[in-house]
Amino acid sequence: MEDTQNSAPGSLPPSQAAKLAPRRAPEGQSTTKRLQTELMQLMCSAAPGVSAFPVDAGDLSIWNATIDGPDDTPYAGLTFKLTFNFPNNYPYAAPTVLFKTPIYHPNVDFSGRICLDILKDKWTAAYNIQTVLLSLQSLLGEPNNASPLNGEAAELWDKDPEEFKKKVLGRHRDVDDE
Amino acid sequence: MAGRDSAKRRVFAAVFPRAADSSQPTPVITPAAKFTTPGQAFGVLSPYGHDQAPSSQKSEQPSRFADDDADHVQQQVQWDRSWHTVTHFLSFTEEQGRRNGSSRGTKSADAAFAEALANVLNPSVRLPLAPHTEEILPWYTQHVRYHFLDKVHPKFLSSQQEQNAGVLLSESIKILEDAHRQYFQGLSMIINQIDGLHPGLGKESVDRFRRDLHAIVSTSITEEFTAALKLVITSYVFTYLGIKIRKEHGSLETTLESVETDQSRNDMLGLVEALHRVDLADEKFQVIFAEIMKDAMDAYVYCGYGGVWSAGNVSEVENHQAAKVDGAPEYSPVPRTVHRNRRSICTTNLCEWVENRYSRLAVEVFDKIGIQKVTWADVEKWKEMSIGRLAMLRTNELFDIVASWPHAAGALEDLRTAITSPQRRLHLTDVFASALKERLLHPGASTLQILQTYISMIWSFHALDNSKVLLDRVAYPLQLYLCSREDTVRIIITGLLSDTEDSQGIPVAPGGDKLVELAVLLNQGTDQLGQRASEDELDWNDMEWVPDPVDAGPGYKRSRNADIIGTLIGVLGSQEVFIKEFQGIIKVLELLKARFGEAPLQSCEVMLKDIQDSGRVDGAVRKSQNLDHNEGEASINQTNLNNDAEPALHAKILSRLFWPQLPDESYRVPDEIADLQKRYEVGFESLKSSRKLTWLHALGQATVELELVDRTIYEEVHTWQATVIWAFQSDEAGDSTLTRTIEELVEHLEMEESLVRSALNFWIGKLVLHEVEKDVFAVLETLNQEDRAKSNAQAAAAAAAAMNEGTDETEAMGDSDAQMEDKMQMYWMFIQGMLKNSSSQMPLQQIAMMLKMLIAEGFPYSNEELQEFLGLKVTSGELELAAGKYKLKK
């Protein structure tokens, strides 16, 4: 458990991902279709505080997403950018999700990698972009301090919320493409 | 005179013996010349005439020789004299008449000749001492040769000047025959003797003589003779075989056996016999005969069967044939190598002809010539040849046969019977393909024509070869060509949709400007489907089963039915093209579904089923909710719309997913209608659990009955128009001054203003309402002169307004489209998502492109419209535009 938690989020070997998911779906066509459907759903029934969109209309495998920091958390008022990278057997394998915006958080390391079980071994095809975004949004308010990537943050979260908030604000800066 | 001439000649001949001369009284060498008597030529014993010489020799010889030589000399002389007698007797003179026939002289002369001949033939026994003897047969042969070349040949040549082939031939043959008789008469005398002496030797000698003579005669045959022979035999053979050349048309026809044919057969056989007698029935003749027979077969097949395609013509022949074989056990003259399961009349006929007439002639001629017998195998071979010819003929005619489908069934049957080998099949397709290319696939042929030909082709080739292999081979270029014609699909569709019967119910004859055949096929086409179903596996009960043709390509799939429509449509690419064309057309749908399978037409199918089911469900719901017979209740009696009963409510129930999005307006329906709807809903939901009914208010039809003071109006109107007029119903009877403003109506009915206006305009046009003042309307209860005029004017104005503003009913609905609003909202979400995540600022072009690519159902607006929309958002402060790029306002 510890090992997988500590491993870099993006480094989940594709073979393992493939093993986790039944291998029945051919890549390409159905993945694109699924992503299109998800986009449509996302647009038609947007959840507050989260949004996502493909970077390039021609290639649906890379998306950018935005999460607004929830109120009543140290992240309130901040927005965070993320990237989604969909493997070509998506949704049978989890997308690779990274924070673009530097974030000070117990379960996110300094290069933006996230420790979240549903992005690893708990992934199922029933999850989608929106659920992932909402999970991440709730993770901001309720970090899993039992398996931190950022030990200091985990410690401060409990001991010194003031200091934590300061660190959060100190670390946050808006990334804007180009 | 004659005596002197001949004397001179004899003197000359004595010194220079002329080979051609007939008579050689003594051997070339002097018999026993120890010396010659003075005055005699050396080496030639007697230059004297036939009559004197023997007597003078007789008188001289005894005194000339010594005793010991006397026997030799005696015998030699005797031999010489015998030789002379024989040669003299055998030689042919100018005056043949005298020596001809049996009156060849006196009995004593014959006896003397016989004696002399015996001496000449058998010198070793009869004159053993004569030292110099010769063979008579070589001499005779030589003599005949001289005579032929000298006398007969010139005569023969002169006879060749004759123009008439028949006369020429008979003359020539007569000359030759005479010569032959003469030669063989002489020969026979010798042979008689030889046979007496050496039995068996004679035949050999005769053969040798015959061979020599034949060599002489055959070299002297002229081209004219050969030509004449050919001509005459051809005429005999053709007449006998029933091939008649008609001078006036230059055409040919075949005839049955008759006296005339028998006559020519006899003539022919007589001629052959005569030729055989003069030894001219040799190889050359046989070659000529063979050529003529071949020509005869060609002519018979080409002329007898060319263009004879119809089964009707043939059936008559069949009758004739049936009459002939009547009583005899079933016998088919067709060779075993051809298909016999369905016999073709032409082939049967042809084979019969070959067997009964052609072969008979050949057999008889061969019999006369005396060469080998015609065997049954030969006859079979001839039959096959004739069928081959027929196949060739039909192959060349095939294009026309196809074009005249279905009237050329007989010809197809012939082809089917005859086309048995892969070579012939290949030839057939090659020939047909080239004919097709030359005659049909050019810009001069209309697409309709090509399609008609194609249909005929499918039929014909199916009749010809139900394995479809042949068709596939020839159809490809046609298909390719059809694809290049733009109007192909349209013509097929028109054909499919055309009426198969005219207004009087009389079937429309094909061949007009539409492919009526297709419609006919489509309408009767169910039987073909059953076959298709059983195609997949072998039918073990099929006694007609044959293996796939040897020339079938890989991936060949047997299909037994001539599926015209399937083939046609399969050709032109996808079925979708057609399905698209057909989606609205209910009449054809069922039939097409049967043809294309269920899946592609599913949504059409559901739509249709909805409409069908609606009737039933409607009935059931109405019954269950007691909506049908409720006149008695009459709870809503005060309305103008329904005096006697509550309005009858019928619904069409559509499955939402399968129907295109229907525009709808929501408004408040009249209470009584809403009540009915509610009851209907309940009824429906109890009938179909877990289904929900959503009303599309604006899409209905209502029958409105308006009772005005001075008139009653019935109108079939849209529900929203009915709703608007409902709003004008008087709450209290007799209140004629009821007015409604547009504002009131919009509020009261919860209806879009444009729709309200549209409905008001409609009713003004019907002279039911009038606009009392601006935006205030009242019911026009009575039509007095003034009102009439007023409302007339308003009606005109309303019509004009409707025209000018283009606010006719549908557009009124289209304009205020809620669904459109929804759509725009969704697009706005896209744009927001885009600007938030992909790139914080984007130019119009990029946004438009992203929307177009990402929205699965397509983004229907132009860049200008999008720009307008974005402009609205900029004004409302949600967007900002900087340096041509849009950006979300923070």
- DSSP codes joined into one string, B494-520: HHHHS-SB-TTSPBPPSSSSS-HHHHH
pLDDT at B11 over 80: no
User: What per-residue confidence (pLDDT) applies to B24?
Assistant: 47
CATH number of the structural domain spanning residue A73? 3.10.110.10
Mean pLDDT of A57-79: 87
Contact A51 B856 (CB under 8 A): no
pLDDT at B369 over 60: yes
Mean pLDDT of B109-120: 73
Distance from CA of A32 to the nearest CA of B (A): 11
> Cα(B74)–Cα(B69) distance, rounded to whole angstroms?
8
> Cα(B151)–Cα(B153) distance, rounded to whole angstroms?
6
Residues B211 and B235 in one domain: no
pLDDT at B190 over 60: yes
What percentage of chain B exceeds 90 in pLDDT? 0
> Cα(B119)–Cα(B83) distance, rounded to whole angstroms?
8
Per-residue pLDDT of B32-86, as tens digits, reads 444 444 544 454 444 444 444 444 444 444 444 455 567 777 777 777 877 777 7
User: What per-residue confidence (pLDDT) applies to B97?
Assistant: 43
Distance from CA of A83 to the nearest CA of B (A): 9
Assigned domain for A86 exists: yes
- B-chain CB neighbours of A58 within 8 Å are 853
H helices within A9-160, ranges in order? Answer: 14-20, 29-44, 129-141, 151-159
Contact B837 A40 (CB under 8 A): no
> Cα(A178)–Cα(B174) distance, rounded to whole angstroms?
121
Residues B273 and B218 in one domain: no
User: What per-residue confidence (pLDDT) applies to A98?
Assistant: 92
Helix (H) or strand (E) holding B463: helix B447-464
Phi, psi of A57 (to 5 degrees): -60, -25
In this structure, how many other beta carbons lie within 10 angstroms of the beta carbon of residue B750?
A: 12
- A-chain CB neighbours of B832 within 8 Å are 51
- Whether B856 and chain A come into contact, CB under 8 Å, resolves to yes
Residue B835 and residue A54 in contact, taking contact as beta carbons nearer than 8 Å: no
> Cα(B115)–Cα(B325) distance, rounded to whole angstroms?
65
Residues B586 and B657 in one domain: no
**B86 token code pair:** 């024989």
B residues 833-852 lying closer than 8 A (beta carbon) to A: 833-834, 836-840, 849-850
> Which residues fall within 8 angstroms of residue B169, CB to CB, at 6 or more apart?
B225, B228, B229, B232, B271
User: What per-residue confidence (pLDDT) applies to B819?
Assistant: 64
Percent of chain B as helix, strand, coil, to the nearest 5? 60, 5, 35
Residues B373 and B277 in one domain: yes
State yes or no: cis peptide before A14, omega within 30 of 0: no
Least confident stretch, B528-537, B694-703, B733-742: B528-537
CATH number of the structural domain spanning residue B836? 1.10.10.10
Q: What string of H, E and C letters represents the secondary structure of B834-853?
A: HHHHHCCEEEHHHHHHHHHH
Assigned domain for B682 exists: yes
Contact A65 B837 (CB under 8 A): yes
**B115 token code pair:** 């004696």
Q: Domain end: B770, B802, B834, which one?
A: B802
Band of the pLDDT at A84, cuts 50, 70, 90?
A: very high
Phi, psi of B47 (to 5 degrees): -85, 5
In this structure, how many other beta carbons lie within 10 angstroms of the beta carbon of residue A33?
A: 12
User: What per-residue confidence (pLDDT) applies to B373?
Assistant: 72
> Cα(B791)–Cα(B795) distance, rounded to whole angstroms?
6
Distance from CA of A174 to the nearest CA of B (A): 12
Q: For residue B561, which of B524, B588, B593 has the smallest C-alpha distance? A: B524
Interface test with A, best of B832, B837, B853 (most A CBs within 10 A): B837
Scored b (16 or more CB within 10 A) or e, B107-138 reads eeeeebbbebbbbbbbbeebbeebebbbebbe
Mean pLDDT of B495-522: 63
Q: Which range marks the domain in which residue B823 is found?
A: 816-888
Q: For residue B646, which of B631, B625, B667 has the smallest C-alpha distance? A: B631
Residue B228 and residue B167 in contact, taking contact as beta carbons nearer than 8 Å: no
Mean pLDDT of B609-613: 76
> Cα(B685)–Cα(B624) distance, rounded to whole angstroms?
11
Q: Domain end: B183, B210, B230, which one?
A: B230
Contact A42 B832 (CB under 8 A): no
Per-residue pLDDT of B545-603, as tens digits, reads 666 666 666 656 555 555 666 666 666 655 666 666 655 555 555 666 666 666 656 66
Assigned domain for B11 exists: no
> Cα(B137)–Cα(B189) distance, rounded to whole angstroms?
11
Assigned domain for B34 exists: no
Per-residue pLDDT of A23-61, as tens digits, reads 444 455 788 888 888 888 888 777 888 888 888 877 888
Residues B659 and B767 in one domain: yes
Residues B250 and B223 in one domain: no
ipTM (interface predicted TM): 0.76
Integer angstrom CA distances of residue B96 from A13, B5, B146, B147, B157: 126, 19, 15, 12, 19
> Cα(B163)–Cα(B170) distance, rounded to whole angstroms?
12
Q: For residue B568, which of B455, B472, B471 has the smallest C-alpha distance? A: B455
> Cα(B283)–Cα(A18) distance, rounded to whole angstroms?
90
Residue B455 and residue B517 in contact, taking contact as beta carbons nearer than 8 Å: yes
pLDDT at B817 over 60: no
H helices within B22-152, ranges in order? Answer: 52-64, 67-90, 96-99, 107-121, 123-126, 136-147
Residues B226 and B243 in one domain: no
Residues B277 and B395 in one domain: yes
Q: For residue A74, which of A3, A152, A142, A173 has the smallest C-alpha distance? A: A142
Our count of domains for chain B comes to 5
Mean residue pLDDT of chain B comes to 70
Integer angstrom CA distances of residue B423 from B34, B301, B743: 84, 20, 88
User: What per-residue confidence (pLDDT) applies to B463?
Assistant: 76
Band of the pLDDT at B349, cuts 50, 70, 90?
A: confident
Assigned domain for B48 exists: no
CATH number of the structural domain spanning residue B677? 3.30.230.130
> Cα(B109)–Cα(B89) distance, rounded to whole angstroms?
9
pLDDT at B779 over 70: yes
Contact A51 B832 (CB under 8 A): yes
Assigned domain for B592 exists: yes
Assigned domain for B377 exists: yes
With H, G, I as helix, E, B as strand and everything else as coil, classify residue B649. coil
Strands A50-56 and A59-68, by their bridges, are: antiparallel
User: What per-residue confidence (pLDDT) applies to B63?
Assistant: 46
Assigned domain for A121 exists: yes
Over the Cα atoms of chain A, what is R_g? 16
Assigned domain for A92 exists: yes
User: What per-residue confidence (pLDDT) applies to B539?
Assistant: 63
**B377 token code pair:** 């195998």
Residues B485 and B391 in one domain: no
pLDDT at B477 over 50: yes
Residues B460 and B565 in one domain: yes
Residues B468 and B437 in one domain: yes
Assigned domain for A114 exists: yes
pLDDT at B534 over 80: no
Least confident stretch, B258-272, B298-312, B394-408, B511-525: B511-525
Q: Is the pLDDT higher at B321 or at B198? A: B198
- A-chain CB neighbours of B839 within 8 Å are 177-178
| Amino acid symbol at B282 | D
Distance from CA of A142 to the nearest CA of B (A): 25
The residues with which B777 forms a beta bridge, in sequence order, are B740, B771
Q: For residue B416, which of B386, B434, B390 has the smallest C-alpha distance? A: B390
Assigned domain for B361 exists: yes
Assigned domain for B59 exists: no
Mean pLDDT of A124-142: 89
Whether A44 sits among the annotated catalytic residues: the reply is no
- B-chain CB neighbours of A63 within 8 Å are 837
Q: Which range marks the domain in which residue A138 is found?
A: 25-171
Assigned domain for A51 exists: yes
Integer angstrom CA distances of residue B795 from B285, B760, B790: 106, 11, 8
Cα dihedral A164, A165, A171, A177 sign: positive
> Cα(A100)–Cα(A118) distance, rounded to whole angstroms?
19
Our count of domains for chain A comes to 1
Mean pLDDT of B94-104: 45
Residue B707 and residue B643 in contact, taking contact as beta carbons nearer than 8 Å: yes
Residue whose tokens read 């001991």: A159
Assigned domain for A160 exists: yes
State yes or no: cis peptide before B406, omega within 30 of 0: yes
- Whether B208 and chain A come into contact, CB under 8 Å, resolves to no
Per-residue pLDDT of B801-810, as tens digits, reads 555 544 444 4
Assigned domain for A33 exists: yes
User: What per-residue confidence (pLDDT) applies to A97?
Assistant: 92
Among candidate residues A50, A115, A119, A153, the one labeled active-site is: A115
User: What per-residue confidence (pLDDT) applies to A83?
Assistant: 92
pLDDT at B676 over 60: yes
Q: Is the pLDDT higher at B472 or at B106? A: B472
Residue B198 and residue B256 in contact, taking contact as beta carbons nearer than 8 Å: no
Assigned domain for A9 exists: no
> Cα(B486)–Cα(B482) distance, rounded to whole angstroms?
8
Residues B859 and B784 in one domain: no
DSSP label at residue B627: -
Q: Domain end: B230, B255, B271, which one?
A: B230
